[in-house]
Chains A and B, each alone.
Chain A
Amino acid sequence: MGLIEQQKFLAKLYTDDTLRKSFIKDPAFTGSANQLSEIEIRELLSIIETEIECFAESLYFKRLHEVERLLYLTARELKHDFRTHFKVFSNTFIPDQVKKHLQDALEFSEFLESNSEIEPWVKDLAKFERCRLEFHNFERRIVAAQLKYDIRERSKDPLASEPALRRTFAVWLRAGNRTFHFIR
């Protein structure tokens, strides 16, 4: 077995927490299930808890920071929970498109929107940010989002009171080189 199998396993190790844990717990089983020889298992085991973990962590934080930047309103409201949910999400999804961070942000937003632990008005905020990203990044002429809560004040001011239950529409429009946006 050579570099092909080793790289396949490494790519998974770098991006999958659970696999790293199971490799540390039972290296012989996990390694051979991934077509690694004994020598290769020993080699990776000698660097799994130091260098591989460190690299995996740097990849994870890179993803997290980019998604926090793209979904800044949602991140601001969820505070530490944003990271907790992203940790769970990042183990279930790996972006594969050129605009990886955008893909990550869009998918993560949908993940939050369908998560029962999230407050409904925060889900609306995530939906609002997802639609805004879709409008600006996919050259859509029009994007509209129907929201259950009136997020207008809170999206401008984190100290404003919690959004009231009131059906609202957020719309983004493009006409020539100009773009328009309103919430009503």
Chain B
Amino acid sequence: MSTLLQSKTLGVGLGFREPFRSDIFLNRTEIDFLEITADHYFDANEAKQKELELLNENFELIPHGLDLSLGSAEGIDEEYLEKFAELVEFVQPEWFSDHICFTRAGGTNIGHLAPLPFTREAVAVVAANVKKVQRVIETPLILENITYLVRFPSSEMDEAEFLTRIVSETGCGLLLDVTNLYINSQNFAFDWRRFLDGIPTESVVQVHFVGSHRNGKRLIDAHSDKTEEEIWEVFREVCKRTELKGAVLERDGNFPPFDEIVNELRQARTIMQTN
């Protein structure tokens, strides 16, 4: 956390996606920074490398990983970590991030973020993997909460306590995805305010936000909808409880006219500044 305290506040950013390529330059003053998907620039071809250079020259960048698999009990993939380290070295970001989950085990790549049981063993696994990352990459790593459909009967604590223990064992800050929190609270009928009471909110460095998506009986994180009032409410509450360094709109599909994106960024900025 000590290095994170020295990190500067970035403001309100956008998750970079290829369809935004020209709009981000036309709306530069509306975007304080960009979050890039780290994996897309590993072994980058010439076009991707050029894109990275262009983005890096024009925006503050934060690399966000998908596949460090910090919850893998078998340990993390060294080659992947090496590539991540090279990217961080190139970008020189204030911090970088990945998720509290596992994405691979025994040679099988699940292709998505899979949840961990909320146990002391899993806390220890995440802590050991994070230490390994921290030995290779000095830039602060922050950790994101995921949505889950699977809950393990063997869990020894709730998610808030699980995150709290991970923060205290690793010294990492949190990337609190307020949409993921809201989705989980709706799918599993818990009060997100009580969840916020249970985590060290002063450790929340950055948030993610986007609308939730209804799929039958459940809400899912499709990243394809406009942020709804219920999620702005969670965002507002987080801002009241801590001084965020960054907030990122994470839109992956069903792209609206860019004006709508800009409006959401403005709304987030207003909330951050007034709370």
State whether B149 touches A55 (Cβ < 8 A). Answer: yes
| Nearest-Cβ distance from residue B92 to partner chain A, whole angstroms | 22
Out of B74, B111, B119, B150, name the residue touching A7 (CB < 8 Å): B74
Q: How many angstroms from the CA of A52 to the CA of B110 in the assembled complex?
A: 13
Q: A3 to chain B: which residues have CB within 8 Å? A: 73, 117, 119, 121-122, 125
Q: Give Cα distance in the complex from A98 to B48, angstroms.
A: 14
Q: Is B153 an interface residue (CB 8 A)?
A: yes
Check A2 against B39 for contact (C-beta < 8 Å): no
Given contacts A10-B105, A11-B105, A98-B40, contact A62 B111 (CB under 8 A): yes
Q: Are A10 and B114 in contact (CB under 8 A)?
A: yes
Q: Are A51 and B150 in contact (CB under 8 A)?
A: yes
Chain A proximity of B136: nearest CB distance (Å): 19
Q: Are A138 and B45 in contact (CB under 8 A)?
A: yes
- What residues of chain B lie closer than 8 Å to A175, measured between beta carbons? none
Task: Evaluate whether A11 and B110 lie within 8 angstroms (CB atoms) in the complex, with A3-B121, A3-B122, A138-B45 already known.
Answer: yes
Task: Give the distance in Å from the alpha carbon of A38 to the alpha carbon of B74 in the complex.
Answer: 22
A4 with B108: CB separation less than 8 A: no
CB distance from A149 to the nearest CB of B (A): 32
Grouping DSSP codes into helix (H, G, I), strand (E, B) and loop, the A interface class, with mixed when no group exceeds half, is helix
Q: Is A8 part of the contact surface with B, judged by Cβ < 8 Å?
A: yes
Closest chain B residue to A51 by CB distance? B150
**B102 touching A7, Cβ below 8 Å:** yes
Within 8 A of B (CB), among A1-30: 2-4, 6-8, 10-12, 14-15
Chain B residue with Cβ nearest A47: B150
Using known A-B contacts A55-B150, A139-B45, determine if residue A15 contacts B122 with beta carbons closer than 8 Å.
no
A7 in contact with B73 given A14-B114, A63-B111 (CB within 8 Å): yes
Complex CA–CA separation, A54 to B148 (angstroms) = 10
| A59 CB within 8 Å of chain B | yes
Say if the beta carbon of B259 comes within 8 Å of chain A: no
Report the count of interface residues on A (CB-CB < 8 A).
30
Q: B154 contacts which of A11, A14, A43, A55 (Cβ < 8 Å)? A: A43
CB pair B109–A94 under 8 Å, yes or no, is yes
- Residues 67-89 of B, flagged 1 when their CB comes within 8 A of A and 0 if not, give 10000111000000000000000
* Chain B residues positioned under 8 Å from A43 (CB to CB): 152-154
Which of chain B's residues have a CB closer than 8 A to the CB of A114?
Answer: none
Give the distance to chain A from B118, nearest Cβ to Cβ, in Å: 12
Chain B nearest CB, measured from A7 CB (Å): 4
With a cutoff of 8 Å between Cβ atoms, the chain A residues found around residue B102 in the complex are 7, 11
Q: Hey, which chain B residues are within 8 Å of A2, CB to CB?
A: 73, 121
If A11-B105, A11-B106 touch, does A59 touch B73 (CB 8 Å cutoff)?
Answer: no
Residue in B110, B114, B122, B154 whose Cβ sees the most chain A Cβ within 10 Å: B110
Is there contact, CB below 8 Å, between A51 and B110? no
Residues of A within 8 A of B241 (CB): none
9 tightest CB-CB pairs across the interface, nearest first? Answer: A8-B106, A7-B105, A3-B73, A11-B108, A11-B105, A4-B73, A55-B149, A51-B150, A139-B45
Q: A2-B73, A15-B111 are in contact. List 10 more A-B contacts (CB 8 A).
A: A3-B73, A6-B117, A7-B102, A8-B108, A15-B108, A43-B153, A54-B218, A55-B148, A94-B111, A139-B45
What is the interface of chain B, defined by CB distance below 8 A to chain A?
Answer: 39-40, 42-43, 45-47, 67, 72-74, 102, 104-106, 108-112, 114, 117, 119, 121-122, 125, 148-154, 218, 220
5 contacts between A and B (CB under 8 A): A4-B74, A14-B114, A46-B153, A58-B112, A62-B111
